[in-house]
Amino acid sequence: MRTNFQSLHLFLFSLCLLLGLSKPDPDPLQDYCIADTTKPQKIYLNGAPCINPELATTSHFTTSSLSKPGNTSANQFGFSVTPTNIANLPGINTLGLVLARVDIAANGIVPPHSHPRASEVTTCLQGTLLVGFIDTSSRVFTQNLKPGESFVFPKGLIHFLFNVDSRKSALAISGLNSQNPGVQIASVATFASKPGVPDEVLAKAFQISQQEVRIIRKNLGG
Ligand SMILES: *[C@@H]1O[C@H](CO)[C@@H](O)[C@H](O)[C@H]1NC(C)=O
């Protein structure tokens, strides 16, 4: 006979499954699947195919990619993200996680963006970061992070990281629970897509003139 507690559990579990609320990356079907990144690829799948497991070596599970600062001058916002991925850490293939080094220049920003497939926890290692996210009822949660302090951005929600120091660069490290979190920077996605969203649409959506749409588009490299 089932207790009420068990029935409740089963009910909640079924509800989660039905609503698709608890779906991280799928579990791997093997210990590891060292990414075969040879090009061109013969098959297309979610992730990369595995090399012969007998050829696995320690080097497939290690990388120094995150040891070097990224180039924060490469974009107008002053940030650089260096993630682990199947190219620099082929052993991470199918494991459902990513670690990223985030360098932010003095007063630089990682502009409001979202990851459709991952939650993110970030830890400030250097400097002071104003971080925050906006929930689906447009409520904002912000926090100043000092070295050693962490903040979590729930899956899919728009969030940002701003270096409040006007003289020194900041450094953070972020973990994300997907092999391929995906990223959409809100401003760039709307104003600098290729081809562009029609001016008229953006003017209406942002309640500005088409002239202003063109200015923003140009500033964002659209
Ligand atoms: C950083 O990026 C800028 C702009 O693309 C470039 O001019 C500069 O040479 C880069 N610096 C390094 C160290 O790669």
Q: What is the mean pLDDT of the chain?
A: 91
By percentage, how much of the chain surpasses pLDDT 70?
89
Range list for CATH 2.60.120.10 in the chain: 54-182
Q: Closest ligand 1 atom to the C-alpha of 71?
A: 1
pLDDT at residue 24 greater than cutoff 70: yes
pLDDT at residue 10 greater than cutoff 70: no
The pTM assigned to this predicted structure is 0.85
pLDDT in tens, 168-180: 999 999 999 999 9
Give me the pLDDT at residue 26, please. Answer: 81
Pocket of ligand 1 (CB under 6 A): 71, 73-74
Per mean pLDDT, which range of 19-28, 31-40, 131-140 is the poorest?
19-28
Ligand 1 centroid, distance to 3 Cα (angstroms)? 64
pLDDT in tens, 113-161: 999 999 999 999 999 999 999 999 999 999 999 999 999 999 999 999 9
Ligand 1 centroid, distance to 124 Cα (angstroms)? 24
Give me the pLDDT at residue 9, please. Answer: 62
Those residues whose C-beta lies under 8 Å from the C-beta of residue 107, and which sit 6 or more positions away, are 78, 163, 164, 165, 166
pLDDT in tens, 66-110: 999 999 999 999 999 999 999 999 999 999 999 999 999 999 999
**Rounded-to-10 torsion of CA 174, 82, 71, 62:** 120
Give me the pLDDT at residue 7, please. Answer: 65
Residue with the nearest Cα to atom 5 of ligand 1?
Answer: 74
CATH topology of domain 54-182: Jelly Rolls (2.60.120)
Ligand 1 centroid, distance to 199 Cα (angstroms)? 32
Give me the pLDDT at residue 67, please. Answer: 98
Give me the pLDDT at residue 38, please. Answer: 86
DSSP 142-175: EEEE-TT-EEEE-TT-EEEEEE--SSS-EEEEEE
Residue with the nearest Cα to atom 13 of ligand 1?
Answer: 71
Residue with the nearest Cα to atom 14 of ligand 1?
Answer: 71
Residue with the nearest Cα to atom 11 of ligand 1?
Answer: 71
